[in-house]
Amino acid sequence: MREILYPRSVAVIGVSSKPDNLGRNIVANMVEFGFEGIVYAVGPGGGVIETRRIYRSVGDIPDHVDLAVILTPAKTVPGILEECGQKGIRWAIVETAGFREYGEGGISLEQDLVSVAEKYGIRFIGPNCIGVINMDNGLSVPFTRLNKHVKFGNVSIISQSGGVALSAMNIMAAEGLGLNKFISVGNMLNISAVDMLETLIDDEGTGLIFMYLESIRNGRWLMEVARRSKKPVLVFKANIGKLGQTIAASHTASLSSDDRVVDAAFKQAGIIRIRDATTFANNLKILELPPMRGKNLAIISRAGGHAVMGADACELSGFNLAEFPPSFLQEIEQHFRASVIRLTNPLDLGDLFDLDVYAQIIEQTLKLDTVDGVVFLHTSMGTDDTATRLLLERIIEMVEKYDKPVAFYVSSDAQEVYYLKQHYNFPIFTQVVETIRALEMNYRHCCEKGQQQGEIEIPEFDVNTTAVRTIVDTAQAEGRDLLLSEAMMALEHYGIPTARSVAASTVEQALSAAEEMGYPVAIKVIAEQLSHKSDVGGVQLNLRNADALSEAFEDMMQRIGQAYPEARLDGVLVQPMVTGGRELILGGRQDPQFGPVVLIGLGGIFVEIFEEVSVRVTPISQRDALEMIDELRGAQILKGARGLKPADIDAVVDALLRLSQLLNDFQEVQELDINPMMVFHEGEGCRALDARMVL
């Protein structure tokens, strides 16, 4: 896609000399940004604009054209693209709206557009977009009139919304962050956001990539591309409604909502998720610094109050306050006018007014092996602006020399802060807590990308795929989901431990099974139409003898049969009572954007109330499975908090990995619940007591 960003000649189609014509804005923007190539204006009325002749058609242009920018009424666009194809133009940006977003007629126009593009091998951005800016060569084709208020830099933007992209550019300009590329992808009919992400990953001028996405059409491709990027990828994902509501009701569908899956996928791919304008600016700024490779932080402050605020924020962000050697503190104390401040970390320099000494202290701090990064909290007195600027220049040199981050907070008048942001290519922060939160993100991103550099090992178990295929095919042929007994068998074939289960269609069969396995037993109704057995009284526990079992069986069949006459009752599943252990839920579903996802949560009837779950896109690694367990607020209970015996975490990890493989192998399984999965003490394993599979 590099050709679309670096054309030598551009035809702007839809230009007239009328004052309100948007096409003329595009030509003016090319002049404003200093485009290095040739610009041809095209419009049926002819005339002159910006001292350029307006050609009446693309065919009238005497020379070869690399890129066409089209801004004409929607119904004319397929025909104009046809002219471009005949002219030999192979790259286009269609800014016109009125396609899919407009209604059925727009969809038909899109189909015509695609047909023309396929006929001539044309690749195009749009339709319904605001265009592209390349600060490197002056290409600037948005139809809104722009001034060059953002400076040249290394941040590139890919956005489904032109307005959001322009807002992001305004934020960057205010923060002194430089733009490299700006790409509004619109309806993504031909060239997608991920296509452009792949291009920018290899683009020399791009150092950081920000994406605004309202939809994700191929989540796994996005993950794959982002995972191999050595450049930070930041994404604001809007439109985060629960797509799972349209799926048949189940625990998994409601718990693994679209947004939870997006969170998990971004984490697995090393994508930094942005949720608001403040974190957008702060994260872009902090990623300009070297990575924070460890948790040991030094806080140096000019004010005691800021030092306390910094220490609080440090604790909330999970950083450690690095210990300073006594000799280091003694050296600093020699510069103090009076021994009125006890030196520690955070380092309160309230009794020091020489900013040259500040620079020396920061450098000595960066030299310490026990320090991974520094937060410098600087309050300017208004009379030391020149000294502050000199100090900042020295900090910039130190950061490069020692390859450690220094997060620079400054409190000063607005004019001076603006000056620093605009004149120094270095991040300036104006809120203490946000400074440390940004550094926390830098650290997390460093860790996550470091983990992804090694090959991710996905285990593959020897399982009985053939047997599960038979079960699934039989159910599909009969137009139904798996029965309880079939779902439990499928788990067994994949090596997921299950409670011993015997299907019984009559009370006699149930009594026989109970006699063989021993009392007490539990029985659970087998009925395709009944999703949640406990909700309809389809579970009876702790049946201690034959009389209790017979009575429970007859009562269950009669009561459910009367309440749900349309349900076909295939009998019950008889299981021995399982005591002890802790309840978990394991599950998974097919996500519309990311495919199979796997889930773990604290089980029981309140699982959907507390929503205590963790989600990952399959296939998962052992590290993924362990992280999923760690993310549960109840993880410490499983690990043996407050004198409790630890649960068998290894067995749960194994079950999660096998479940991940099952969901990958059988993508006909739309939803899968194992609830409860009982996990016992360490070394005693885990066992699925109930399962549900929707095809």
**465-576: CATH class:** alpha beta
Q: Give the DSSP letter string of 520-589.
A: SEEEEEEETT-S-GGGGT-EEEEE-SHHHHHHHHHHHHHHHHHH-TTSPEEEEEEEE---SSEEEEEEEE
CATH code of domain 2-214: 3.40.50.720
Whether the per-residue pLDDT at 340 is higher than 50: the answer is no
Cα–Cα distance between 498 and 490 in angstroms, integer?
10
Question: What is the model's pTM?
Answer: 0.88
pLDDT tens-place string over residues 357-372: 899 999 999 999 999 9
Whether the per-residue pLDDT at 533 is higher than 70: the answer is no
How confident is the model at residue 542, as a pLDDT? Answer: 87
Mean pLDDT value of segment 647-657: 96
How confident is the model at residue 254, as a pLDDT? Answer: 44
3-state secondary structure of 596: strand
pLDDT tens-place string over residues 317-334: 999 999 999 888 888 877
Pick 582-694's CATH classification: 3.40.30.10, 3.40.50.1220, 3.90.110.10, 3.30.470.20.
3.30.470.20
Mean pLDDT value of segment 215-226: 92
Measured CA distances, 433 to 375, 460, 610 (Å):
11, 45, 30
Q: Any long-range contacts for 447-450 (C-beta under 8 Å, 24+ apart)?
A: 448/267, 448/270, 449/270
In whole numbers, what is the pLDDT of the chain averaged over residues? 90
Fold assignment, 290-453: Rossmann fold (3.40.50)
pLDDT tens-place string over residues 382-422: 778 899 999 999 999 999 999 999 999 999 999 999 999 99
Whether 2-214 shares its CATH topology with 465-576 is answered no
How confident is the model at residue 454, as a pLDDT? Answer: 61
Whether the per-residue pLDDT at 656 is higher than 80: the answer is yes
Phi first, then psi: what are they for 424, rounded to 5°? Answer: -125, 130
Mean pLDDT value of segment 506-513: 91
HSE (CB half, 13 Å, CA atoms) of 445? 27
Whether the per-residue pLDDT at 90 is higher than 70: the answer is yes
pLDDT tens-place string over residues 225-273: 999 999 999 999 987 755 433 433 343 444 545 788 999 999 999 999 9
Cα–Cα distance between 420 and 176 in angstroms, integer?
8
Domain-wise residue ranges, the chain? 2-214, 290-453, 465-576, 582-694
